[in-house]
Chains A and B, each alone.
Chain A
């Protein structure tokens, strides 16, 4: 048996009543529901400005592309200091929520969950650092002018208190 969609696997192994996603029709667009495309404003090739810095020098090149035929979003974040982050963001039509898995070349993983409200995506969860520490994380994305603002806060006490973590503005990449 080949790797199926959940729906197909369940159809094959169990009752069709458990199907959760339509079968793949290669001729039709996948994931046409609007929810899957709420974050499309972030698709692009971006320079990244640190909102707390005095200048607008880019601190990272960020590529955000649709993957899985537009059903999910892939982010490649390459900071000028060498930090690389790779992430997948996707809308889960069953749980009706967004999810991000972010991994870095520092050996950390972050999984955060949440939803859109008034055009702002807010995801919250945890980062597991390579050294064993776990920190709370809440990140928002929203369109700002022609760019995208991403702001993160972190918590070291399980979400009781939050402090600024990062605050960046993505602007269309210019130059080579």
Chain B
């Protein structure tokens, strides 16, 4: 049996004479056409990344090249993030219809894994939260937001190690069209 939606599995199991999936004509998939899946599409693009902590006016050199592309017929966004200091990260972001939330899975070349969940507010700002565990077993909470800003996208993170009582800035960056950041 091949990997299938349960409905297809049941069909295949119930109707042994049905055409094998491999023989079926590839169908166009529009499962994720609803606008709810596309609220984060403003992040799609080829971006330079400005460190807003160092350059609050948004005018500075790029500290990372980030490419965000739609994948799986628009059901998710793939991010490839390459920071000039060697950090490389990749993520999927998507709307999870069954739970009415947004999810992001992020991995990086330090062995880090962040699983983040959250939602859009009424103003087009997505906030995801993640909990990571330190080596000593303590939890760190992260709150990351994405918002359209001018022609770019602002991504900001704060972190708390006291269960959410106090938050400290973690990163704050502005994505601008690739090639438009100031040269070093």
Does A74 count as interface, using CB distance less than 8 angstroms? yes
A48: which B residues are within 8 A, CB to CB?
2
Pick the residue among A3, A10, A105, A130 that contacts B64 (CB under 8 A).
Answer: A3
Q: In chain A, what residue has the closest Cβ to B66?
A: A3
In chain B between 47 and 103, which residues have their CB closer than 8 angstroms to a CB of chain A?
Answer: 49, 51, 53-54, 63-64, 71-76, 78, 81, 83, 85-92, 94, 96-99, 103
A94 within 8 A of B: yes
Chain A contacts to B: CB under 8 angstroms: 1-7, 9-10, 12-14, 17-26, 30-31, 33, 36, 48, 50-53, 57-60, 67-72, 74, 77, 79-86, 88, 90-95, 99, 101, 103-109, 111, 128-135, 152, 154, 156, 164-168
Contact B134 A71 (CB under 8 A): no
Point out the residues of chain A lying under 8 angstroms from B54, CB to CB: 1
Q: Across the interface, do A167 and B1 meet the contact criterion of CB distance under 8 Å?
A: yes
> With A2-B49, A17-B136, A59-B2 in contact, is A131–B89 under 8 Å at CB?
no
Given A18-B161, A103-B75, A105-B29, A50:B6 Cβ within 8 A: no
Residue contact B110 to A6, C-beta cutoff 8 Å: yes
List 3 A-B pairs, minimum CB-CB distance, nearest first.
Answer: A26-B86, A105-B73, A101-B105
Q: Which residues of B does A touch, CB under 8 Å?
A: 1-6, 9, 20-22, 24, 26-29, 31-32, 37, 49, 51, 53-54, 63-64, 71-76, 78, 81, 83, 85-92, 94, 96-99, 103, 105, 107-113, 115, 132-136, 138, 140, 155, 157, 159, 161, 168-173
Contacts of A74 in B (CB 8 A): 90
